[in-house]
Amino acid sequence: MVRTAVAVSAPGKVLLAGGYLVLDREYTGLVFGLDARIHVNVQEIPTSSGVTLNEIVVQSPQFQDAVWEYGYRLTERDGGMRVMPLRVDADLNLNRNIFVETTISYALSYIASLSSPMISPASVTILADNDYYSTPAALTYKSAPAPRFHNFDVPISKAHKTGLGSSAALVTALTGALLSYYLPKNTYDITTDLGQRHLHNLAQAAHCAAQGKVGSGFDVASAVYGSCVYRRFSPSILTAHVEPGRRQFGSQLREIVDGSGGEAGKWDHEILKEGVKVPKGLRLVMCDVNCGSQTPGMVKQVLAWRKGNPTEASEIWEELHRHNTALADDLTAAAESAETDPVKRYAEVQQRFHSIRALIRQMSEQSGVPIEPPEQTELLDACERMSEVIGGVVPGAGGYDAIVLLIQDDEAAVAKLRSLLAGWKFRSGVDGDVGVGRVSMLGVREEMEGVRVEEVGQYDEWLS
């Protein structure tokens, strides 16, 4: 059976409001999709007549040695599909990519649970828009347009991420591409509400398994649905099933994806797209601070502080939630306002950013965690002194990864901001972990659309 090649992409994300709070179902997060996407192309591996292969070859040609080969077989007792990394050369160390490996295992296990399709050999190519990684100086300062997909020419482990949610976008795009490639359209259609719901559930399960814990899931949700207000699912939905390869994993995974596991397995997340707007004439921009933070460690410290100081933490979180929720309303009101004076039109939004930042700094001080560290405060304050900047925050878990700004959507404003950042010297000596960092404005902006099917031909030069 000859299968038609497919390509699927999923967007990055920025959690504009709701960092840390989004981990608790009592609160929501305002997350915007970004137009930087992870692209996944799946096509057949031609084989000679009479030759049978059970192999999926994955490559990410923008990086050195980024090739992974997997064998697969259906296990006994409904254990799902076992996926095994293969060595190309016995002298080479086994090169593991846990997100790719886990996603293939979960996707093929779900496909096998639906029927008995012939899972033929496939070649998978993963491409990332350039802004997922800190832009090399050679790209930043040359006058010629940058290539669509830059060849970073380093191992993936050496490439510095900009914090746009690459793992969630990868898992979502890879899951969607595999389902679309192996299943007939009357069984699975990624363009339908049902297809996206099943994709969301399966990608959440695979992503949580790959990272070794059940997170809030806002990054996968935005990869599937784009910009939204998000309330997390109950962790118990993904903690009850057995490990891949164990008895009944296939059936349990299907129940998770289909939402047919009874009340205990019923998905209870909320995704609201209505009322999530950026007013016309404004845009979101991300400014990458090429230093980096250890987000898991920060999250653990904040949660430990909250547990040890429930009264003061609750007061801050409740007040933050009130302002976070109101920010979405203020943006919608500004988008629908007839006021032409920008100062008056965006006054509420501007004040909302100030209130949110003040509470985040208060949480930083009381928890001892650098959510908005002084260096980021200095940078944000400098940006907000520009009349073209409405406001900004250190998004998500905070730290030294990036800042997000809401600015006027015109070339003059962008040029003025770039000029400010070009001369900025970002220095920090927190425990010796962070040094001098270069600050640069990424090329991304808000993206309302989530996962989508792409034209295969646009990737031809990258396909081997």
Specify the CATH number for the domain of residue 178. Answer: 3.30.230.10
- 210 located within any domain: yes
One domain, residues 318 and 217: no
Cβ contact 221:15 at 8 Å:
no
How much is the pLDDT for 425? 80
pLDDT for residue 296 is more than 90: no
The DSSP string of 382-440 is HHHTSTTEEEEE--TT-SSSEEEEEEESSHHHHHHHHHHHHT--B---GGGT---B-EE
One domain, residues 359 and 251: no
User: DSSP character for 231?
Assistant: E
One domain, residues 165 and 215: yes
Tell me the residue type at 137: A
User: DSSP character for 266?
Assistant: -
One domain, residues 292 and 206: no
How far apart are the C-alpha atoms of 232 and 215, rounded to whole Å? Answer: 9
User: If DSSP codes are grouped into helix, strand and coil, which group holds residue 26?
Assistant: coil
One domain, residues 245 and 313: no
The CB-based long-range contact list for 436-441 (8 Å cut-off, 24+ gap) reads 437/289, 437/290, 437/291, 437/400, 438/134, 438/137, 438/290, 439/287, 439/288, 439/289, 439/290, 439/379, 440/134, 440/135, 440/140, 440/287, 440/288, 440/290, 441/285, 441/286, 441/287, 441/288, 441/414, 441/417
> Environment class of residue 206 by beta-carbon count within 10 Å: exposed (0-12), middle (13-18) or buried (19+)?
buried
Domain that holds residue 334: 282-445
Count of the separate structural domains present in the chain: 2
One domain, residues 63 and 153: yes
How much is the pLDDT for 252? 94
Specify the CATH number for the domain of residue 412. Answer: 3.30.70.890
| pLDDT tens-place string over residues 369-419 | 999 999 999 999 999 999 999 999 999 999 988 899 999 999 999 999 999
How far apart are the C-alpha atoms of 214 and 237, rounded to whole Å? Answer: 10
One domain, residues 329 and 428: yes
What is the torsional sign of CA 316, 319, 325, 331?
negative
- 261/383: higher pLDDT: 383
One domain, residues 236 and 358: no
pTM of the entire structure?
A: 0.93
One domain, residues 111 and 163: yes
| pLDDT tens-place string over residues 297-338 | 899 999 999 999 999 999 999 999 999 999 999 999 999 999
One domain, residues 336 and 400: yes
* Alpha carbons within 13 A on the beta-carbon side of 383: 35
Residue length of the chain: 464
How far apart are the C-alpha atoms of 288 and 393, rounded to whole Å? Answer: 13
One domain, residues 300 and 240: no
- 1 located within any domain: no
Angle between helices 218-225 and 166-182 (to 10 degrees): 50
